[in-house]
Amino acid sequence: MSRLTSTFEALRQAQRKALIPFITAGDPEPGFTVPTMHAMAEAGADIIELGVPFSDPMADGPVIQKASERALVHHMSLRKTLDLVAEFRRTDQTTPVVLMGYLNPVECMGYQAFADRAKDAGVDGVLTVDMPPEEAGEFVPMLHRAGVDPIFLLAPNSSDARIERMAALGRGYLYYVSLKGVTGASHLDLGDVESKIAHIKSLTGLPIGVGFGVKNAEIAAAIGRFADAVVVGSALVEKIAAAQDRPEQARKDIADLLAAMRRALDS
Amino acid sequence: MRDEIQSYNLPDDCGHFGPYGGIFVAETLMEPLEALKAAYHRYMKDPEFLAELDHDLNHYVGRPSPIYHAERLSRELGGAQIYFKREDLNHTGAHKVNNTVGQALLAKRMGKRRVIAETGAGQHGVATATVAARLGMECVVYMGAVDVERQALNVFRMKLLGATVVAVDSGSKTLKDALNEAMRDWVTNVDETFYIIGTAAGPHPYPAMVRDFQAVIGREARGQMLGLAGRLPDALVACVGGGSNAIGLFYPFIEDRDIAMYGVEAAGDGIETGRHSAPLSAGRPGVLHGNRTYLMEDEDGEIIETHSISAGLDYPGVGPEHAWLKDSGRATYVSATDAEALEAFHILTRLEGIIPALESSHAVAYALKLAPTLSSDKIVLVNLSGRGDKDIHTIATREGIVL
Ligand SMILES: Cc1ncc(COP(=O)(O)O)c(C=O)c1O
């Protein structure tokens, strides 16, 4: 059983919901990332999503775009992101780590080489924003064989046929994008999300995470009432942007927000 | 591979040209792309739609565009006869309008009230703003902040036409970043918005659809060459940014295997300097902006900044059909530097009284090299994709002249 599957299984038995923070690897500089991953785990994160910086983050709003730009100034890359995961794994063998990014750096490394290196580094899941299942025929089986879970994004306008297809190919969990828009948007309609999640759950037994537009503990708690996991990204990355020269402060602000979300989710 | 060229029917149903093309987008865009594909397939067979398109191309764009035998230039070069397909004479000054007229008619049929576009040189932005004005649609154009600066005239034209021009400040602040921003707008406003992509790139069905709208260039050229010279040309030459004017000329000739096809990329300061925009000449296959194609990237797969004196060629990717035509050997891709393009710009202006766009000047530059290597009974047909009015400031600045 993969680390993601067993994490969700344990949460289900404890009747708890997963809290999944996202930060961009190497933002604002490479040394910030691993200590912050540990701090997030300590503050109550169940799974960590690590963004792989890309020069052309088409699906991201300004907050995560700037995070990518800050990381790229330090020449952060897919290879170095894998190194950071390996470093994290030296002292944390339990918290699952999911890489989230765009396809081109993976294509450039080569699908098989990437699957092997991700496995070796201790990566548990991979979410490639711009690779729909139609184009994933070669890559997904390589991830399956390496024991790395491919994670697909579902959108408000995904058809049932597509949901079923992604549920069949996906492992670990499915990620429901709560709104039509980019990361960091804020026009989320909780009623819509709730009914869509109920519908998706009628089509698949995989856990469902919800992300995009989760800004605070109240929204996290509301989503936790009907989804299995809550993903929070831009709200954390904003803390980094606001305290770029004060890493201890940024790390503390991130941990505080996560701890508040944790409390709200658990109450 | 070569045999497949014999009866050419690419892309496949999922938009693949061999290993290139396809659909690589976030999930939210899958449904609108499916709807667009359905509408495009339906209306490209609908006689009423095609009649309206023809009517607009004739009476609004001014088609057919002439073919002109550049006798003086040909004589000076002392080789093949050079003919120009005069897309510079179209309404709004470039080939871009062939495509925006077509896509806007599709948008209207699909009930969309809002169109968005990305633009580099501003020609596609102007062509989009123009058709939006005519159809009474809201229009937003994304343009890299660097390009807003160097193509100020076109920015003003778009505003006069009623479009909102958004300067994009992320990344390299050029065409690729404008495309990213347009994609972000589309994913956010997908229900009411039609994204008019300006070149033969992007996710399926855009590369095929833009090609089909631009193929009027090559279809007309076939008939015109037969009328004027009594035969088809020996070689075709077109500049390649994203590749829409080139594929528009090439496509109706793909099965004429004796006709050579040359796509001319922007070599900027020179391919060897790394400061260029020539992914087919010096890049590698990868995935960007919804399709797999040749890209300019570093060893980690990050897209690198491009350079060209011409904003319309300043793009790190290229349409997937060109990637396939390159690998299959059917077309040959060469390049021209900024300096060569500028020289060609002046030569054409002084010898023929035609002021070409800087983009098109790259095609002219290669024709100047090619023609003298061929005998005088050969014919080279060059796509003059646009006129140079928009570039006068760039050229003056480059040559130290204050207007
Ligand atoms: C006059 C002209 N020619 C060529 C191009 C390059 O585009 P494409 O390669 O799609 O024809 C542009 C783009 O702005 C243009 O304005």
pLDDT tens for chain A, residues 1 to 267: 899 999 999 999 999 999 999 999 999 999 999 999 999 999 999 999 999 999 999 999 999 999 999 999 999 999 999 999 999 999 999 999 999 999 999 999 999 999 999 999 999 999 999 999 999 999 999 999 999 999 999 999 999 999 999 999 999 999 999 989 999 888 889 999 999 999 999 999 999 999 998 999 999 999 999 999 999 999 999 999 999 999 999 999 999 999 999 999 998
Annotated catalytic, B343?
no
Dihedral angle sign, alpha carbons of residues A109, A110, A115, A120 = negative
CATH of segment(s) B64-93+215-398: 3.40.50.1100
- CA distance linking residue A81 with residue A72, whole number of Å: 11
Check if B123 has its Cβ closer than 6 Å to any atom of ligand 1: yes
What tokens appear for B394 in the block? 């760039």
Lowest mean pLDDT among A100-109, B287-296, B303-312: B303-312
C-alpha B48/C-alpha B322 separation (Å) is 31
pLDDT of residue B158: 98
Instruction: Name the nearest CA neighbour of B371 among B83, B69, B82.
Output: B82
Cα angle A15-A195-A192, degrees, rounded to a multiple of 5: 115
Report the residue among B95, B237, B361, B389 best suited for mutation to probe ligand 1: largest number of ligand atoms under 8 A from its CB. Answer: B95
Question: Starting from the edge strand earliest in sequence, which strands make up the sheet with A48-51, in order?
Answer: A149-150, A125-128, A97-101, A48-51, A18-24, A229-232, A208-211, A174-177, A153-154
Active-site residue, selected from the candidate residues A9, A29, A42, A49: A49
Q: Do residues A130 and A101 lie in contact, with contact meaning Cβ atoms separated by under 8 Å?
A: no
Q: Nearest by CB to A130, which of B32, B285, B287?
A: B287
Q: In whole angstroms, what is the distance from residue A232 CA to residue A217 CA?
A: 10
Q: Among B147-156, B230-239, B324-333, which is the least confidently predicted range?
A: B147-156
Choose one of B84, B123, B175, B210 to mutate for the ligand 1 pocket test, by most ligand atoms within 8 angstroms of C-beta. Answer: B123
| Chain A closest-CA separation from residue B120 CA (Å) | 16
Q: Is A8 exposed, middle or buried (0-12, 13-18, 19+ CB in 10 A)?
A: buried
What's the sign of the alpha-carbon dihedral B127, B131, B132, B133?
A: positive
The ipTM estimated for the assembled molecules is 0.97
Q: Who wins on pLDDT, B110 or B1?
A: B110
| pLDDT tier for residue B6 given thresholds of 50, 70 and 90 | low
| Burial of residue B189, with CB atoms counted within 10 A of its CB: 0-12 exposed, 13-18 middle, 19 or more buried | middle
| Domain spans of chain B, in order of start | 16-59+96-210, 64-93+215-398
Query: Cα–Cα distance between B318 and B295 in angstroms, integer?
Result: 7
pLDDT of residue B27: 97
| Pairs of residues, one from chain A and one from chain B, whose beta carbons lie less than 8 Å apart | 119
Torsion angle, CA of B327/B334/B278/A100, rounded to 10 degrees? 0
pLDDT at B4 over 80: no
Nearest to B336 by CA among B368, B291, B294, B371: B368
Please answer yes or no on whether A157 and B26 come within 8 Å at the CB atom: no
Does the pLDDT value for residue B5 go beyond 60? no
Q: Give, in degrees to the nearest 5, the angle at Cα A37 between A263 and A43.
A: 20
Question: Separation of B284 CA from ligand 1 center, angstroms?
Answer: 22
Contacts of B302 in chain A (CB under 8 A): 53-55, 72, 77, 104-105
Residue B24, CA distances (Å) to A136, B198, B287, B301 in order: 10, 18, 8, 16
Average the pLDDT over B301-310 and give the result: 95
CB-CB contact of B331 with B351 (8 Å): no
Peptide bond into B11 cis (omega under 30): yes
Instruction: Return the residue matching tokens 């045999």.
Output: B3
Cβ distance A109 to B301 less than 8 Å, yes or no, reads yes
Would the CB atoms of A65 and B299 count as touching at under 8 Å?
Answer: no
pLDDT at B1 over 80: no
Range of the domain at A45: 3-266
How far is the alpha carbon of A56 from chain B, nearest alpha carbon, in Å?
Answer: 7
User: Which of B180, B188, B302 is facing A185, going by the closest CB pair?
Assistant: B188
Q: How many residues does chain A have?
A: 267
Q: What is the pTM of this model?
A: 0.97
Could you give the CA distance from residue B194 to residue B135 in angstroms, rounded to a whole number? 13
Instruction: Pull the structure tokens for residue A229.
Output: 């996991």
Give domain B16-59+96-210's CATH architecture.
Answer: 3-Layer(aba) Sandwich (3.40)
Contact B300 A77 (CB under 8 A): yes
| Interchain contact, B302 vs A72, CB within 8 Å | yes
* HEC-encoded secondary structure of B11-77: CCCCCEECCEEEEECCHHHHHHHHHHHHHHHHHCCCHHHHHHHHHHHHHHHCCCCCEEECHHHHHHH
CA separation for the pair B387, B354 (Å, rounded): 8
The residues that bridge with B284 in the sheet, in sequence order, are: B295
- As a whole number of angstroms, the distance between CA B320 and CA B17 comes to 7
A88 CA: distance to closest CA in chain B (Å): 22
Closest chain A residue to B30 measured between Cα atoms?
A: A158
Nearest Cα to B196, choosing from B132, B289, B117?
B117
* Nearest of A158, A258, A254, A255 to residue A208 by alpha carbon: A158
Neighbours of B397 (CB within 10 A): 12
Q: How many domains does chain A have?
A: 1
Q: Which residue pairs, CB below 8 angstroms and at least 24 apart, start in A137-146? A: A138/A111, A139/A106, A139/A111, A139/A115, A140/A169, A142/A111, A142/A112, A142/A115, A143/A115, A143/A118, A144/A171, A145/A115, A146/A115, A146/A116, A146/A118, A146/A119
Bridge partners of residue B236, in order along the sequence: B261, B381
For residue B3, name the pLDDT band (cuts at 50, 70, 90): very low
Q: Which residue of A has its CA nearest to B168?
A: A62
**Does residue B151 surpass a pLDDT of 90?**
no
- The angle formed by the CA atoms of residues B85, B237 and B395, to the nearest 5 degrees, is 80
Q: By three-state DSSP, how is residue B90 classified?
A: coil
Q: Is A49 a catalytic residue?
A: yes
Percent of chain B whose predicted confidence (pLDDT) is above 90: 95
User: How many whole angstroms from B245 Cα to the centroid of ligand 1?
Assistant: 6
Secondary structure in 3-state letters for B369-401: HHHHHCCCCCEEEEEECEECHHHHHHHHHHCCC
Q: Does B25 touch chain A (CB under 8 A)?
A: yes
Q: Residue B282: CB partners within 8 Å, gap ≥ 6?
A: B271, B276, B296
* B188: chain A residues, CB-CB within 8 Å: 180-182, 185
User: Which residue in B13, B23, B24, B294 has the most chain A C-beta atoms within 10 A of its own C-beta, making it the best mutation to test that interface?
Assistant: B24
Using only the alpha carbons of chain A, give its radius of gyration: 17
Sign, Cα dihedral of B231, B239, B286, B115: negative
Q: Residue B172: its pLDDT value, please?
A: 87
**Atom from ligand 1 closest to the CA of residue B318:** 9
**C-beta atoms of B171 and A56 within 8 A:** yes
Between chains, do B290 and A65 touch, taking CB under 8 Å as contact? no
| CATH assignment at residue A32 | 3.20.20.70
Q: What is the pLDDT of residues B17-68, one digit of tens each?
A: 999 999 999 999 999 999 999 999 999 999 999 999 999 999 999 999 999 9
pLDDT tens readout for residues B333-370: 999 999 999 999 999 999 999 999 999 999 999 999 99
Q: DSSP readout, A12-69?
A: HHTT--EEEEEEETTSS-HHHHHHHHHHHHHTT-SSEEEEPP-S--TTB-HHHHHHHH
Cβ of B277 below 6 Å from ligand 1: no
pLDDT given for residue B166 in this prediction = 98
What residues in A contact B26, CB-CB < 8 Å?
A: 58-59, 129-130, 153, 155, 177
